[in-house]
């Protein structure tokens, strides 16, 4: 039985979208260890096909040669294969230094010699869905039916909800942030107006960087419905956040990592898209509904600028998000399949 090391992406959403790849590898008999940065490691602990997770002691950015060399020495002679999900040079160094015989990844950043099998990078303007991009590392054809799936044990859910004093199905979750930048964020004022119209409390989730954004939404809602919003941005572990999402009535988010978590947990959800495309990173969930003005024929003038994939709107108006009204999202929430409103 081959022993395989998977070098995980650094973003939560991308980590979720590698699950079909790992499922394929496990199904053909590979025993999987995932090397992941600490903030994405909980995603892999929610994948039953992963035998173990190594939390990589690396900071965001920088090569950190010494730390990578030290860890590679510990991993020598332990693995038969390595799958390198990110495209960066540094992500391929660990398997190379660990002398893993077979090392698979995309061409990426000048990785000749570091990988033994290199897949061609997708051409610019022809980006496949990210699930397909990662699954291709298995060497198997795309079957078109893979979607990420996460599994949480009941004690994990119970402990998280007890700690936050929440009842299953007794609240909605909003994830108003997007790590990539403001061109992916629906306005805070819109989130606040939507929250005011819901009959159950709203829990706001995100990283510590999104605390100010969530605090703004909470303050606006408190002025109308005191105590209706709970701001947990930066106050939960990712394990807790995953459990809170799993037990929510439904969820509203931007195109973000937590959007993909909800999709992989089969949570009814509305996903708001602006500068990015649901053709590239959709929530692969039959209970999901997507709103993207680019594909609304009645919306004028047409959004010829979308998707731009920019962090900030190059035109300065972010019309692709500002013009999505809270009433439009509320209507989608009201008619979500599998959700009791």
Query: Tens of pLDDT along 224-263?
Result: 999 999 999 999 999 999 999 999 999 999 999 999 999 9
Give CA–CA dist 161/157, Å, rounded.
Answer: 6
Average pLDDT over residues 298-319: 92
What does the block give as tokens for 76? 């020598």
pLDDT in tens, 27-71: 999 999 999 999 999 999 999 999 999 999 887 766 788 888 999
Average pLDDT over residues 177-203: 94
Give CA–CA dist 307/313, Å, rounded.
Answer: 11
What does the block give as tokens for 186? 């629906």
Give CA–CA dist 323/305, Å, rounded.
Answer: 14
pLDDT of residue 339: 62
Where along the chain do its domains lie?
3-138, 157-334
Mean pLDDT, rounded, of the chain: 93
What does the block give as tokens for 214? 């969530």
Percent of the chain at pLDDT exceeding 70: 98
pLDDT over 90 at 221, yes or no: yes
Please, are residues 303 and 293 in contact by the beta-carbon 8 Å criterion? yes
Rounding to the nearest 10 degrees, give the CA dihedral for residues 248, 339, 180, 196.
Answer: -80
Give CA–CA dist 220/193, Å, rounded.
Answer: 8
CA quadruple 118, 124, 128, 131: dihedral sign: positive
Pairing of strands 31-36, 3-7: parallel
Q: Which residue has the tokens 């039985």?
A: 1
Percent of the chain at pLDDT exceeding 90: 83
pLDDT over 60 at 340, yes or no: no
Identify the CATH number of the domain defined by range 3-138.
3.40.50.2000
CB-CB neighbours of 318 under 10 Å: 18
Own/partner long-range contacts of 218-223 (Cβ < 8 Å, ≥24 apart): 220/188, 220/189, 220/192, 221/192, 221/195, 221/196
User: Do 3-138 and 157-334 fold alike per CATH?
Assistant: yes
Residue 8, SS3 per DSSP: coil
What does the block give as tokens for 339? 């959700």
Q: Say which DSSP state 289 is in.
A: E
Rounding to the nearest 10 degrees, give the CA dihedral for residues 75, 76, 77, 80.
Answer: 70
Rounding to the nearest 10 degrees, give the CA dihedral for residues 120, 125, 130, 133.
Answer: -20
Q: Which of the four pLDDT bands, split at 50, 70 and 90, describes residue 182? A: confident
Q: Which residues pair with 202 in a beta bridge?
A: 172, 229
Q: Which residue has the tokens 């950015």?
A: 61
Residue 23, SS3 per DSSP: helix
CATH class, domain 157-334, is alpha beta
List, in order, residues 6 or more apart from 14 with CB less than 8 Å away.
85, 130, 134, 257
pLDDT of residue 10: 93
pLDDT in tens, 130-160: 999 999 999 998 777 789 999 988 888 999 9
């Amino acid at each position: 039985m081959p022993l395989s090391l998977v070098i995980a992406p650094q973003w939560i959403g991308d980590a979720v979208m590698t699950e079909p790849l790992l499922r394929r590898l496990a199904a053909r008999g590979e025993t999987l260890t995932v090397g992941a940065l600490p903030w994405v490691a909980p995603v892999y602990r929610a994948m039953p096909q992963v035998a173990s997770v190594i939390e990589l002691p690396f900071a965001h950015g920088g090569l950190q040669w010494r730390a990578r060399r030290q860890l590679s020495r510990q991993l020598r002679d332990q693995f038969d294969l390595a799958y390198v999900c990110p495209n960066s040079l540094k992500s391929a160094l660990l398997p190379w230094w660990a002398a893993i015989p077979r090392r698979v990844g995309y061409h990426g950043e000048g990785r000749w010699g570091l990988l033994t099998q290199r897949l061609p990078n997708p051409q610019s303007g022809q980006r496949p869905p990210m699930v397909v991009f990662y699954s291709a590392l298995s060497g198997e054809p795309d079957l078109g039916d893979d979607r990420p799936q996460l599994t949480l044990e009941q004690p994990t859910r119970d402990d998280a909800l007890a700690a936050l004093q929440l009842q299953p199905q007794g609240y909605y979750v909003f994830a108003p942030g997007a790590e990539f930048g403001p061109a992916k964020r629906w306005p805070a004022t819109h989130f606040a107006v939507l929250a005011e119209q819901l009959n159950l409390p709203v829990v706001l989730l995100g990283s510590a960087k999104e605390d100010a954004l969530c605090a703004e939404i909470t303050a606006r809602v408190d002025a109308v419905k005191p105590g209706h919003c709970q701001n947990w941005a930066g106050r939960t572990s990712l394990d807790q956040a995953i459990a809170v999402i799993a037990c929510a009535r439904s969820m509203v988010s931007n195109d973000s990592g937590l959007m993909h978590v909800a999709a992989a947990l089969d949570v009814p959800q509305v996903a708001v898209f602006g500068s990015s495309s649901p053709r590239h990173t959709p929530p692969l969930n039959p209970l999901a509904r997507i709103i993207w003005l680019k594909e609304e024929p009645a919306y004028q003038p047409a959004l010829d600028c979308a998707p731009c994939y920019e962090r900030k709107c190059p035109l300065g108006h972010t019309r692709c998000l500002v013009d999505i009204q809270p009433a439009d999202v509320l209507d989608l929430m009201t008619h979500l399949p599998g959700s009791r409103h």
